[in-house]
Structure 1
Amino acid sequence: MIENMQQATARYLIFFQYAGTKYSGVMKAPAHQAVEGVQNHLENAVRKLKPVHEVSVVISSRTDSGVHALCNSAHVDIQRRGGKPPLLEQNLIEALNFHLKAEPIRITRAYRVQSDFHARFRALSRTYVYRFASGLRHHTEMPVTEADLCWALHDTTLNISAMKEAAALLLGTHNFSTFRALNSETPFKNPVKTLELAQLGPGDSFSQRHFHRDIQFWELTFKSRSFLYKQVRRMTGALVAVGQGRLLVRQIQELLDAQDSLAFPYNLTAPAHGLFLTNIEYRYEDLVPYMPN
């Protein structure tokens, strides 16, 4: 009987996307908090499948209030009642999306994985894209399709070559203490990270093609195994400041060398609404079709 129960419990890796504007972040908010997190809604959707055990969705990558995701991931264990076999992946996707349909949250993929798989610790890399726009005289010029999805830089001409030069300084393995904000986890997080990608390029925007051709959309792409709290938003803010002439390229190196969160210039962190988590990479072997023993 115990063996049958264990076989009926399935662990799934799910990939999901969301518009983060209305949420407190991806992580679950406590019951007394009025604004919920994405995790609250994911767990409520799983509960509506009536599993045997209490639901716990383990999120791989934290995002703050206002930050969006085209690809976040999590794992969850589901044991169906009445000895029913585990759900097929596509059936799980459709069932969860049915219960999430009132929210700007969608399950995009699901894989049945081994029982010891961990969505957070098995991730090989995470990629973030920060979107911003230049060439606006006023924030009201931002197309409605970009509301809460892009940082509008007013009356700004950017030195793109200087920004690219500064971004190159961030590549590789560094102590990124200056680029992390202080929070309860700060003393316990290793500030040494390896940044595999720090790339600036023009954004391919529907809005630019069809609404305001004089507005230039840009994307900053960052890839690393993991990031510190607000690291991407601080790096973005500093690079934009270089483009605006408010910081010199050499000052990016000086900020890295300082290794002190308090050395980061006041009020330079990029706002949350331009940031997207776009990819989480796993080993191919973790995503191959699950074959129970």
Structure 2
Amino acid sequence: MHNCSRYLIFFQYIGTKYSGVVKVPPHQLDKKGVQDHLEDAIRRLRPLNPVSLSISSRTDRGVHALSNSAHFDLQRAPNKPPFAEDILAEALNFHLRTEQIRITRAYHVPADFHARFQAQSRTYVYRIALGVSHHSQLPLTDCNLCWNLRDTELNVGAIREAAALLVGTHDFSSFRAFNSDMPFKSPVKTLEVASIEPGSTFAHTHFHREIPFWELTFKSRSFLYKQVRRMTGALVAVGQGRLSVPQLKELLEARDSLAYPQNLAAPAYGLFLSRVDYREEDLQRSPHTSDRELPSSEKHK
């Protein structure tokens, strides 16, 4: 009888070449999801059990992550001990070396740990470059990693005033897009943070000219489908004078996805999932608890 270890991994990726973070149907051949490549890397470790990754935070095609997370079970041969956390991360990165995906941390967690349901908060950062009429004017380090606007400045005071209206517990129906999960998820979310602060290019000390950057940060336990991109688009419109603060308030209070103006949502490529946070105690395995045994049905698959 073999024991099975559960691991939590944190991973980063540049989302440009992937269909999103979750795996794609077998018939979809153009782009794989980040999950497809992670599961392929886990299979190369030759586990005895079928590989199945549970992602904490779904990101769309073109969206990036500095720190997403997922858990999976890994059963080794009876004569082999569970992987040490650092060895597991190193081994997975070896098999991911041709992809723009990297494991940053790994934890050997309790057998009942769940990466999605036990996440306490998720933080997204949206990067905006000003005074850039075409992406070719950006340093290569920032192409497809920010939203470049022709505007040379934004009314940051108005953006902050509008962002303050979004903080707290609200029905965010106006800021979610239609998808298959819509009937099953409550539109009421508690937004802990909605802020805007100066940012910079990734090569700001080396590029030949200064490009003004701003970063919008949003933190909540969970978000609705495309909520961050829709909030970003509305806040930028306020900063450009295309939407007033009272109009954004009316949009929030409309609680209607159809009330959101067409073509206002920010593009995917400026968005980064930057943090997924857990309680430290949830990550700790009891010294008296062994890894769980796989059900007999799992062993013979």
TM-score normalized by the length of structure 1: 0.95
Per the alignment, residue 100 of structure 1 pairs with 96
Q: Does 1:24 align with 2:19?
A: yes
Aligned residue type for 1:9: C
Deviation at 1:212, TM superposition (A): 5.0
| Corresponding residue of 1:127 | 123
Contact 1:112 1:290 (8 Å CA) reproduced = no
Select 2:7's aligned residue among 3, 12, 16.
Answer: 12
Distance in 2 (alpha carbons) for counterparts of 1:25 and 1:37? 5
> In structure 1, what residue type is equivalent to 2:7?
Y
2:160 to 146, 153, 164: 164
More helix by share: 1
C-alpha contact 1:156 1:244 (8 A) present in aligned 2: no
Q: Are residue 110 (structure 1) and residue 109 (structure 2) matched? A: no
Q: Deviations over 1:3-45 (max 9, x none)?
A: xx2xx21000110000000000000011111110000000000
Is this contact kept in 2: 1:208–1:217, CA < 8 A?
no
Q: Flag structure 1 segments of 5+ consecutive residues without an equivalent.
A: none
Displacement of 1:252 after TM fit?
1.1
- Between the aligned partners of 1:225 and 1:285, the Cα distance in structure 2 is 18
Counterpart mapping for 1:141-290 below 5 A = 141-288=137-284
Q: Which residue of 2 aligns with 1:84?
A: 80
What fraction of aligned residue pairs are identical, expressed as a percent? 66
Please report how far the alpha carbon of residue 119 of structure 1 lies from its aligned counterpart in structure 2 after TM superposition.
0.3
CA distance in structure 2 between the partners assigned to 1:74 and 1:83 by the alignment:
27
Per-residue deviation, 1:88: 0.8
Question: What RMSD over aligned residues (CA atoms) do the two structures have, in Å?
Answer: 1.3
- In structure 1, distance between residues paired with 2:246 and 2:158: 10
The letter for the 1-side match of 2:57 is S
* Secondary structure, aligned partner of 1:243: helix
Q: Who is 1:63 aligned against?
A: 59
* Secondary structure in 1 matching 2:81: coil
Provide the rounded CA distance (Å) in 2 between the counterparts of 1:17 and 1:214: 27
Q: Partner letter of residue 91 of structure 2? A: A
Count of matched residue pairs: 288
Deviation at 1:85, TM superposition (A): 1.4
Question: Aligned equivalents of 1:209 and 1:179: distance in 2?
Answer: 36
Q: Secondary structure at the match of 2:161?
A: helix
Q: In the alignment, is the contact (CA less than 8 A) between 1:177 and 1:261 conserved in 2?
A: yes
For 1:215 and 1:49, locate their aligned partners in 2 and report how far apart those are by CA, in whole Å: 44
Which stretch shifts more, 137-146 or 53-62? 137-146
CA separation in 1, counterparts of 2:9 and 2:115? 9
Counterparts of 2:160 and 2:11 in 1: how far apart (Å)?
31
The equivalent residue for 2:296 is none
Q: 1:253 is matched by which residue type in structure 2?
A: K
Shift of 1:141: 1.5
Alpha-carbon distance in structure 2 between the residues aligned to 1:214 and 1:84: 54
The C-alpha deviation readout for 1:85-141, integer Å capped at 9, x for no partner, is: 111111111110110001010011011111111000000000000001112244332
Q: Is the 8 A contact 1:180 1:231 kept in 2?
A: yes
2:298 alignment partner in structure 1: none
SS in 2 for 1:128: strand
Post-superposition shift, 1:288?
Answer: 3.3
Inter-partner Cα distance in structure 2 for 1:289 and 1:56 = 21
In structure 2, what is the Cα distance between the partners aligned to 1:213 and 1:226?
Answer: 38
